[in-house]
Structure 1
Amino acid sequence: MNSMIRTTAAALLLVSTVVGAGAAEVTMNVGWSTPLDSQYGILAKKFEELAETYSDGAIDVKLHCCGQIASEDDAFRAMQLGTVDAYFVSQNNISPHWPLMDVFVLPYMFQNTEHLVKVADGPIGDQIREQIRKDTGVHLLTFGGPSYRDFFNSVRPINTIEDMDGLKIRVPKNEVMLATFEAFGAEPVPLAWSETPTALQTGTIDGGDNGTSVIKEMKFYEFAKHLVILDHFASFTPLLASDRFMGKLDDAQREAVLRAAKEAGEYHTEITLQQTEEIRNWLVTEGGMEMTRPERAPFIKAAQKVQQEFAAKRGEAFTDLVNAIQAAAE
C-alpha cells in the first residue's frame, strides 16, 4: 500500500511539474483602437505568435481590438501609470505626451517610403526609442509598417490646393496637424478618434485623413466619396509597452518580446508597402471613391512654413532631429 501511495504521489508530482513548465508565467494584454482584422491587428497577431514562440510559452499575449481596454487618446497616459500593458498608438497621439515625436508628424518630412524605413529602422529610430523611454517610462517596441495618411472628403474632388478652402476636416488633437490643414486652407476640427465616424456620418465634418487601410477598415468610403493622394503625413503603427509590464520580465522574456517586436515590425513593413496601392485601388473600384492626385508643389510650399514654425519654437533637440531626418534622405 505504501509503495502504491509513493508511486501515485510521484506520478502526480510529475504531472504537476509538466503542466507548470508549460504554463504562461506572464500575461501581456495588447490593445488597439481599430478592428481585429485591421493593419494594427495584422501586426498584433504576428507579434503574439512570435512572442509566445520565442518565450517558449512563458508569455501569453492577449489581443484586445476596438478600444476595449483604452482609447488611443488615453492609452499612452495609461501605460505611464502602468494600468495598460501595451497599446498601438499613432505618432500624432504620442506627441501630446512627448513633443519630440512631432518630428515624425511634420508634413512632407519624408521623401518616400525608403526614407521612412531608413529613419525608423536606423540610428534615428534607435535614438527615439531610447529617449522616449528615458523621458516617459514608456517603451517603443516597434514603429511597425510605414505608409502615408490619405485625405478624404464628402464635398468635392481636390485638384488644387484652392479646393481645400473651407472644408471642415477632422484632425487629431495634435498641434502640427492642426497647423498643417490651416496652411492648406481648410478648417481643421480637432476631434477624438471615437467621435470621428459619427461626425462623418452626420456631416459635422466634411472629411479627414487616415492611413489608407483605415479608410477601408472603418468604411469611411460609404460617407466620403473623394479620395485624395497627397502623401502629406507619414503613418506608422507604433507598438508601445509600459515600464511596469517590462519590469515583470526576466532577461530571457524581455529578449523574446524585443525580438518578436522587431521581427513583427519587419514583417508588417513588407505587408504595408505591398498593400497600400492595392487598397487605394480597392477604394476606387469596390468602394466607389473618386481618386485624385493633385500637384504637390503648392502643398509642399505651405508645409515648409509649418516645418519652419515648429522647428523655431520647439528648441534645439527638435531641430537637430529634423536635420538628421532630412540628412538621412541623402
Structure 2
Amino acid sequence: MRNGLKIFTVAVMAAGLIVPAIAMAADYTIRASHSEAPESPLHKGYLVFKAYVEGASGGKIDVVISPAGQLGSITDGLEQAKAGAIQIAQGDEQTLDAFYKPMMILATPYLFADDEEARAFLTSDLFKKTNDEMAAKSGLRLLAAASYGFRDFTNNVRPIKSAADMKGIRMRVPPSPMSLAMVEAMGGSPTPIPWAELYGALQTGVVDGQENPLGVIYDYSFYQVQKYLTVDNHQLGLNSIIISEPFFQRLSPELREVVAVGAQMAAATEYGERNYQSRVVTVDALRKKGMEVYFPTPAESATFRDAVKGPMQAYLNKELDPAFVKAVYAEIEKIRAARASDVK
C-alpha cells in the first residue's frame, strides 16, 4: 500500500507540475530586435519591457529579445516589423522618415532645447496624430522613445559659446542637408567627410571640428585631437520602440495597454542611465582628458536656435507639408510657454 501511495503521490505531483506549464503557455510571442550591445542602457530597457509585459499579461505574452544586430541593422529590423516577421524593432531619428517621411521632423537641429521639450512633444496631440498616420500608412507604430543624447560641437579654434563663434570654423558634418544648412546658417564652413576618415581629418587639420553625442566623442577618443567641447544639444538622438501595427491591433485592449506601458517603462530605464552617463560620467571623463567643456547659457542657446530656424523651416517646407511644419513649430512654442509659466 505504501508503494502504491508513493507512486500515486509522485504521479499527482508530476501532474501538478505539468498542468501549470500547459496553462501558462503564451497566447502571443513578441520578437524584439535592436542593434545595441547586451550591456547597453537600451538593452536594459528591453529587459524591463520583457519582465513587465510577461508578468502583467499573466503569461499571455512571451517576449524574445535579439540584441546586438543579430537580426540585422536598425533599418532591417523595421523592415521585418513592417513585414510581420518580428513584432518590435528599434527605430531612431535617422531611420523612421524612410518609412513615413514626416518623421524626419524629429532630426531637425535645435527643434528641442532639451529632453523635457522632446518628451512633451512626443506626448502632444499633434505627434499622436502623426504617429497614428504613420501606423495607418506604414504598418509601424511608435510606442515609446528615449533620448540617447544630443549631438554637440567640438573644435580646435575657439570655445563656441554662441552662434557667432562658429564663423569661419571648418566643421565636419554627415552628408545631411539639414546638417549642412545648420552650420552654414551660423557662418561656419560645413565639410562632409566619411566617418572612417574623420579622426585623421581632425588630426591633420583638414577640418577644425566635428559634432557627435558625448558618448561617441569619448568612445572614439576625439578628445585626443579636439580641445573645445560645447554642449549645445543641437540634434536629438532618439531611440524609439516600434511595433508592428497589425500585431498591436490583434491584441485585446487590455494587452495593448500592457505592451504600451511596458514600452514606456523601457524608455524611462534607458533614458535614466543615458542621462546620467552624458550629464555626469562622460562630461567628467572628457574634462579629465583635457577638453574644455562649455555649457551655453539660455541666452546663448537662443542664438543657435535663432540662427538656424529660418533655413531649417525653408528646407522642411520643401520636403513636407508647410502646414505640418508650421504646426510643429507652434507646438514647440506652446510647450516652451507652458514651461515658462510653470516656472513663474
Q: Fold match, TM over 0.5?
A: yes
Aligned residues: 319
Deviates more, 1:198-207 or 1:69-78: 198-207
Aligned to 1:302: 307
1:325 aligns with 2:332: yes
Give the whole-Å Cα distance in 2 for the aligned partners of 1:208 and 1:33.
Answer: 24
Could you report, residue by residue, the CA deviation over 1:147-183 in whole angstroms, capped at 9, with x for unpaired residues? 4222346x65553212532x33235xx5433432444
Query: Of residues 152, 158, 162 in structure 1, which corresponds to 2:167?
Result: 162
Q: Decide whether aligned partners of structure 1 residues 147 and 298 sit closer, same or farther in structure 2, where only a CA change above 3 A counts.
A: same
Amino acid at match of 1:126: K
Give the whole-Å Cα distance in 2 for the aligned partners of 1:223 and 1:82.
Answer: 45
Query: Of residues 140, 150, 153 in structure 2, which corresponds to 1:151?
Result: 153
Judge conservation of contact 2:172–2:193 (CA < 8 Å) in 1.
Answer: no
Aligned to 1:254: 256
Give the drift of 1:141. Answer: 0.8
Could you report, residue by residue, the CA deviation over 1:237-275 in whole angstroms, capped at 9, with x for unpaired residues? 211122354356444433321111123334444444444
Aligned to 2:113: 111
Give the whole-Å Cα distance in 2 for the aligned partners of 1:225 and 1:35.
Answer: 27
Aligned to 1:230: 232
Give the drift of 1:137. Answer: 1.1
Q: Decide whether aligned partners of structure 1 residues 201 and 249 sit closer, same or farther in structure 2, where only a CA change above 3 A counts.
A: farther
Query: Of residues 25, 33, 36 in structure 2, which corresponds to 1:34?
Result: 36
Q: 1:133-282 residue pairs with structure 2 within 5 A? A: 133-145=135-147, 147-152=149-154, 158-159=159-160, 160-162=165-167, 164-165=169-170, 167-171=171-175, 174-184=176-186, 185-189=188-192, 196=195, 198-201=196-199, 203=201, 208-216=210-218, 218-221=219-222, 225-226=226-227, 227-246=229-248, 249-282=251-284
Structure with higher Rg: it is 2
Q: Decide whether aligned partners of structure 1 residues 176 and 242 sit closer, same or farther in structure 2, where only a CA change above 3 A counts.
A: farther
Aligned to 1:83: 85
Aligned to 2:54: 52
Give the whole-Å Cα distance in 2 for the aligned partners of 1:27 and 1:269.
Answer: 26
Aligned residue for 1:144, secondary structure, equals strand
Could you report, residue by residue, the CA deviation over 1:179-233 in whole angstroms, capped at 9, with x for unpaired residues? 3244443435386xxxx4x4445549966544434544x4454665453322111
Give the whole-Å Cα distance in 2 for the aligned partners of 1:210 and 1:220.
Answer: 12
Give the whole-Å Cα distance in 2 for the aligned partners of 1:190 and 1:318.
Answer: 29
TM-score (norm 1): 0.78
Aligned residue for 1:108, secondary structure, equals coil
Judge conservation of contact 1:145–1:266 (CA < 8 Å) in 2.
Answer: no
Give the drift of 1:303. Answer: 1.0
Q: Which ranges of structure 1 fall in alignment gaps of 5 or more residues? A: none
RMSD: 3.5
Identity %: 20
Give the whole-Å Cα distance in 2 for the aligned partners of 1:202 and 1:57.
Answer: 53
Amino acid at match of 2:238: F
Could you report, residue by residue, the CA deviation over 1:12-31 in whole angstroms, capped at 9, with x for unpaired residues? 65443211233444332323
Give the whole-Å Cα distance in 2 for the aligned partners of 1:231 and 1:115.
Answer: 12
Q: Which ranges of structure 2 fall in alignment gaps of 5 or more residues? A: 338-344
Aligned to 2:341: none
Deviates more, 1:99-108 or 1:56-65: 56-65
Could you report, residue by residue, the CA deviation over 1:28-86 in whole angstroms, capped at 9, with x for unpaired residues? 23232333333322322322222222223333333333322121244333322233432
Give the whole-Å Cα distance in 2 for the aligned partners of 1:163 and 1:20.
Answer: 69
Judge conservation of contact 2:84–2:244 (CA < 8 Å) in 1.
Answer: yes
Judge conservation of contact 1:221–1:288 (CA < 8 Å) in 2.
Answer: no
Aligned residue for 1:329, secondary structure, equals helix
Query: Of residues 120, 123, 136 in structure 2, which corresponds to 1:121?
Result: 123
